[in-house]
Amino acid sequence: MNHGSLLSAQVTVRYPGKPPVLRGVALEIASGEIMGLVGQSGSGKSTLALAILGLLGRQRATVEGSILFHGADLVTMKERDLRGIRGRSMSLVLQSPISSLNPALRIRTQLKEAWRAHANGTSADCDAAIRAAMTSVSLPADEDFLRKHASQLSVGQAQRVLIAMAVMHRPALLIADEATSALDVITQSEILQLFARLNHETGMSILYISHDLPSVAEICQRIAILHEGEIVESGPTAQIFAAPQHPYTRRLMASLPRVPARTNESQAQAAAAE
């Protein structure tokens, strides 16, 4: 993995007449790593994602500080230039795949729109990009599947389509905002494996935002803990899980479910049954 910095943020986000949602949040993502951002609902996780993507202006929010991406400050960048980055160098996968897809358009049409937003070329070029994107997320690229609408897909298939659209231009950074929270346990595991594979095969950095600690532990090399608008602790995943320092992090780790130990009697019964 290349340990050079891909993104370095130090930001405060305010809404008119309200206390800051984020206060001096410092976050660094290295090239080629999967970084976890953990926090409960309302901690500011999605606000940070939208600040990185330059999407808070529509919500009348004020972003103070800097967000350096490939050395360029996204906070001071013009919207025209940000549009050239979003979807191409930096992509977003959201929580609800079915509602994120357009119900009126076929899957092929939506994939075409995602490609043409940041590429020029022939129909053959577009078709090749669609095939490559669908293959990368282990979905069929045949006509039967591409003619479907979102309502005809399972939730897991819909999430894979969204990921295909997000990685079509091989972005340097993929932001996955609670991207597995709407999925059943088996599908969640498959999507996590997909993220890990895309990271390994393409070198794509991933900011994996979640309140689900087991999924963060499964794929993230480092994690940052966001609590009430501030990052209270960050470091290598194994270190944070083994020896959390901040009281809030310790409470988070203590909340992890434990598999109950079997009693001697139940173990004896199981042995006898075998």
Angle, CA of 150, 151 and 157, to the nearest 5°: 55
Beta-strand relationship, 222-227 and 62-69: unpaired
266 three-class SS: helix
Name the nearest CA neighbour of 28 among 46, 57, 59, 3.
3
Q: Which amino acid is at 207?
A: L
CA dist 124 and 138 (Å) reads 21
Q: Residue 155: phi, psi to the nearest 5?
A: -60, -40
Say what the pLDDT of residue 121 is: 87
The per-residue DSSP string of 102-129 comes to -TTS-HHHHHHHHHHTS----HHHHHHH
3-state secondary structure 209-231: EECCHHHHHHHCCEEEEEECCEE
Please name the helix (run of DSSP H) or strand (run of DSSP E) that holds residue 262, with its range, or none.
none
Is residue 126 within 8 A of residue 212, CB to CB? The reply is: no
Please name the helix (run of DSSP H) or strand (run of DSSP E) that holds residue 183, with its range, or none.
none
Name the nearest CA neighbour of 130 among 116, 147, 111.
111
Say what the pLDDT of residue 223 is: 96
Is residue 50 within 8 A of residue 90, CB to CB? The reply is: no
Burial of 183 (0-12, 13-18, 19+ CB in 10 A): buried
CA dist 180 and 192 (Å) reads 8
Residue linked to tokens 């509602």: 99
Torsion of CA 259, 34, 85, 211, to 10 degrees: 20
Which one is the CATH code of 5-256: 3.30.1490.100, 2.60.40.10, 3.40.50.2300, 3.40.50.300? 3.40.50.300
CA dist 191 and 197 (Å) reads 10
Would you kindly state where each structural domain of the chain is located, as residue ranges? 5-256
Q: What does the pLDDT profile of the chain (274 residues) look like in tens digits?
A: 446 889 999 999 999 888 999 999 999 999 999 999 998 888 899 999 999 999 987 668 899 999 999 999 999 999 999 998 998 899 999 887 788 899 999 999 999 999 998 888 899 999 999 999 999 999 999 999 999 999 999 989 999 999 999 999 999 999 999 888 878 888 889 999 999 999 999 999 999 999 888 899 999 999 999 999 999 999 999 999 999 999 999 999 998 876 555 545 545 554 555 5
Is residue 61 within 8 A of residue 192, CB to CB? The reply is: no
